[in-house]
Amino acid sequence: MSDNNCRSSESPTADSCSSLSVDRLAGILSRLRMTAQVFHAGSLTEERDFTDSPHLHVLRIGQVQVKAEGSSHRVTAPAAILLPRAAPHSITPTDGVADLASARIDLGGIANPLAQALPPVQALDLQADSLGRRLNQVLDLLFAEAQQRHCGHQVVMDRLVEAALVLILRQAMEDARGIGLLAGLAHPQLAVALTAMHDRPGADWSLESLAETAGLSRSVFADTFHQVVGQPPGQYLTGWRMALARTALERGESIKRVARDIGYASPAALSRAFSRHFGVNARTLIKSDR
């Protein structure tokens, strides 16, 4: 896993991430920033189609039918409906008028492993548990802002949706089933290694150092990681680095700086890895070469 393209100025240690008290989302969320833009908050009286981006819908009153990805879901208020990837979908009130807030969201770009790990449609009951109730409190503030329309209300609403997304990701980790990143973040040992990769993508990670960080033997770590996350550790690390590279290059950072930050020995090494991963030349995304 650690090849000629990788280098590091720091060494991972088991002490740096010793338990699940470590923040399993901070590394991803600090590097791939989520954003939201609320564009509707109020009554929904007929079917409405959505096509252009990932969305978060909040149903405060009523019942709706959500059609997306070839499936249909009946959702009763209070609930949050998350579609983490851009997909055509429709929402139809089934019992008169529904009270709905809708926001276009970006979970940090198409390469964000969290966005890929979430189900295509997720409906959360906002009264189901303590986390749902906390989410409901945040979304109550959202509707209050929409109704009162004080100065700066759009900014406040957008930030409240971003906060709601973090709470939803917490819930998704707790409810993780099957194979994927969320299941890995819910696993006591793998979560430590995954968090270390997210926090320090430029470290000279090897299978041995990741296994040591997780507190497992090399073979047990490799087998468990593949079974739970669905890919080998080295492949996941490469995907994470490429997600960071794409976001940084699209933001206008120089390829030299990006290569240094995510652990590649040179811009040429990063360019080769980027082309293999995405099928396009990294320099096509560069907005400046500072």
| DSSP per position, the chain | ---TTB--SS---GGGS-STTS-TTHHHHHHS--EEEEEEEEEE-S-EEE-SS-EEEEEEESEEEEEETTEEEEEESSEEEEE-S---EEEEESSS-EEEEEEEEESS-TT-HHHHHS-SSEEEETTSSHHHHHHHHHHHHHHHHHHH--TTHHHHHHHHHHHHHHHHHHHHHHT--SSSHHHHHHSTTHHHHHHHHHH-TTS---HHHHHHHHTS-HHHHHHHHHHHHSS-HHHHHHHHHHHHHHHHHHHT--HHHHHHHHTBSSHHHHHHHHHHHHSS-GGGG-S---
Q: Determine the pLDDT at residue 8.
A: 34
Confidence of residue 287 (pLDDT cuts 50, 70, 90): low
Residue with tokens 């791939």, as numbered in its chain: 32
The pLDDT-based confidence of 54 (bands split at 50, 70, 90) is very high
Rounded distance between C-alpha atoms, residue 58 and residue 42, angstroms: 10
Across residues 226-242, what is the average pLDDT? Answer: 96
Q: Whole-model pTM? A: 0.80
pLDDT score of 98 = 94
Backbone CA torsion sign across 202, 207, 212, 213: positive
User: For position 269, what pLDDT does the model report?
Assistant: 95
Give me the pLDDT at residue 20, please.
56
pLDDT at residue number 63: 96
Give residue 53's Cα distance to chain centre.
15
Query: What's the pLDDT tens digit per position in 235-268?
Result: 999 999 999 999 899 888 999 999 999 999 999 9
- How many angstroms separate the first and last alpha carbons of the chain? 30
Please confirm whether the linkage preceding 119 is cis (ω < 30° from 0): no
Question: CA 194, CA 117: separation in Å to the nearest integer?
Answer: 14
Q: Is the pLDDT of residue 213 over 50?
A: yes
Give the chain's domains with CATH numbers: 14-20+188-285 (1.10.10.60), 33-174 (2.60.120.280)
- For residue 281, the Cα-to-chain-centroid distance in whole angstroms is 25
User: In the numeric block, which tokens belong to residue 286?
Assistant: 């560069």
Residues in a beta bridge with 92: 65
Q: CA 194, CA 35: separation in Å to the nearest integer?
A: 23
Q: How many CB atoms lie within 10 A of CB 88?
A: 12
φ, ψ dihedrals at 176, nearest 5°: -55, 130
Share of the chain above pLDDT 90, in %: 57
What torsion do the CA atoms of 231, 284, 3, 18 make, to the nearest 10 degrees? -60
Strand ranges of the sheet holding 55-61, from the earlier edge strand across to the other edge: 35-44, 98-106, 55-61, 79-83, 122-125
- Across the chain, mean pLDDT equals 86
Q: What tens digit of pLDDT does each residue of 119-137 get?
A: 899 898 888 777 778 888 8
The band of 21, judged by pLDDT with boundaries at 50, 70 and 90, is low
Report the pLDDT value the prediction gives residue 289, as an integer from 0 to 100.
41
User: Pick the residue with more confidence: 139 or 9?
Assistant: 139
